[in-house]
Amino acid sequence: MTEDTERVFAVRLGFNPQLNAWTLRVLPLEAWTDDQRADWVALVQDAFIHLAVVGGLCGQHGDPSASAFAGEVEVWEVDDCVEWRFGVLRIDPASVSLLLNLCEWATLNIAPAVMVEVLVPFPLTDEAEDRPLPQRCARLSFPVEEAGQEGERLSIQIELVEKLTGPHVSLISGLVRPWQLAVLREGFALTTLPAGESEVRLADPPMVIVDDQWSMNFEVFFARYEAVDVFLNCLERIHQTVCRVKTVSIE
C-alpha cells in the first residue's frame, strides 16, 4: 500500500483481493453529522456508482452497454472511518482518480476528511502525476465532430435518428444526470489548478431537446476534456438502449 499527500487529504491506495471489488475508506477530520454523512454517501452513490451503471466509466477498452455494477453498496463505520464496499465494479482503473477528485470536492464542500483509502482489484502502486481519467470507448456507433476544448464554454450537439417522445426524454435525462453531477462536483478537475478552483457552470437551460435535436450546454467549462469522453460513453449506452444517435458535434 502506498500513501500520497499531494491532495487535500492523505491518499492510500492498495489491493483488494476480492474479484472486481472496490472499497473506499474515508477518515473524517472529526465525526460527521448525520446530514454530512448522508451528503457524502449521496455524492459517491450518484456521481460515481451511478456513472458506472450508465456506462460512463467503461474506458477505452470497455463496452458502455455492458453491466458495470452488481450487488449493493454497503456503508459501514469501521474504527474511525466511513467505509464503502461497492460490490462488483467492472470499470476502468483510471476511475480511481475521478473518485478521489469527488472526495476532494466533498472534503471542501461537505465535511473534511484527513485520509482517503481506495482498495481496488488490480495492482496499483500510486496515483500517476497526471491523474488519468477514463477515456471514450474505442468503438462508438456514431461519428463525432469536435474542435477540441477552446475557450471557456462547451456545447455538445446531438442529432438523433428519430424524434424523441416524452418517455425517451425522461430516460435520457436520468442517464446523463450522474455525468452532469460528476462534472459539477469536480470529478474532472484540472490538474493545473488547486483543488476547488476548476469552475463549471451550466447554461440556462443546460439541456435542450427538440424533435430529433438534443444539446448539452455549459456557460463555463474549466474542466478536463476527459469529461467529454465519459459523456460519449454514456451516449453510446443511450444509443444502444434508448434511441439511436446519428451524429455528434462538440464545440
Using CA atoms, how far apart are residues 24 and 214, in angstroms rounded to an integer? Answer: 36
Residue 7 neighbours by CB distance under 10 Å:
17
CA distance 62 to 112: 34
Same domain as 206, residue 171: yes
Q: What pLDDT band is residue 196 in, cutting at 50, 70 and 90? A: confident
Cell matching residue 56: 460512463
Mean pLDDT value of segment 75-87? 94
Residue 113 lies in domain: 2-120
Query: Which range scores top for mean pLDDT: 29-38, 125-134, 189-198, 208-217?
Result: 29-38
Residues 111 and 149 in one domain: no
C-alpha cell at 90: 467492472
Q: Which amino acid is at 71?
A: G
Is residue 233 within 8 Å of residue 137, measured between CB atoms?
yes
Distance CA 148, CA 154 (A): 10
Please give the residue that has the higher pLDDT: either 141 or 167.
141
* Of 181, 174, 146, residue with least CA distance to 241: 174
Residue 168 within any structural domain of the chain:
yes
pLDDT in tens, 130-152: 899 999 999 999 999 998 665 68
Cell of 195: 483543488
Whole-angstrom Cα distance, residue 106 to residue 235?
27
Instruction: Please check whether residues 100 and 155 belong to one and the same domain.
Output: no
Predicted confidence (pLDDT) at residue 74 exceeds the cutoff of 70: yes
What is the enclosing helix (H) or strand (E) of 106? Answer: helix 95-109
Q: In CATH, what number is assigned to the domain containing residue 222? A: 3.30.70
For residue 149, the model assigns a pLDDT of: 63
Residue 31 sits in the same domain as residue 87: yes
Q: Count of domains in the chain? A: 2
User: How far is residue 121's CA from residue 21's CA, in Å, rounded to a whole number?
Assistant: 6
- pLDDT at position 78 is 93
Q: Is residue 126 a part of any domain in this protein?
A: no
6-24 pLDDT tens trace: 899 999 999 988 888 899 9
Q: Are residues 112 and 168 in the same domain?
A: no
Cα–Cα distance measured from residue 143 to residue 60, given in angstroms and rounded to the nearest whole number: 16
Residue 166's pLDDT is: 84
The predicted model scores a pTM of: 0.94
Residue 116 lies in a domain: yes
**Within-domain flag for 110:** yes
Of residues 10, 251, 20, 64, the one with CA closest to residue 176: 64
Say which residue the cell 466511513 belongs to.
Answer: 82
More confident residue, 30 or 127: 30
Look up residue 86 and give its three cell numbers: 461497492
pLDDT the model gives residue 179:
97
Q: Which three cell numbers stand for residue 112?
A: 473534511
79 and 166 share a domain?
Answer: no
What average pLDDT does the segment 92-119 reach? 97
| Residue 237 resides in a domain | yes
Q: Which residue has the cell 472534503?
A: 107
Query: In this predicted structure, what is the pLDDT of residue 203?
Result: 94
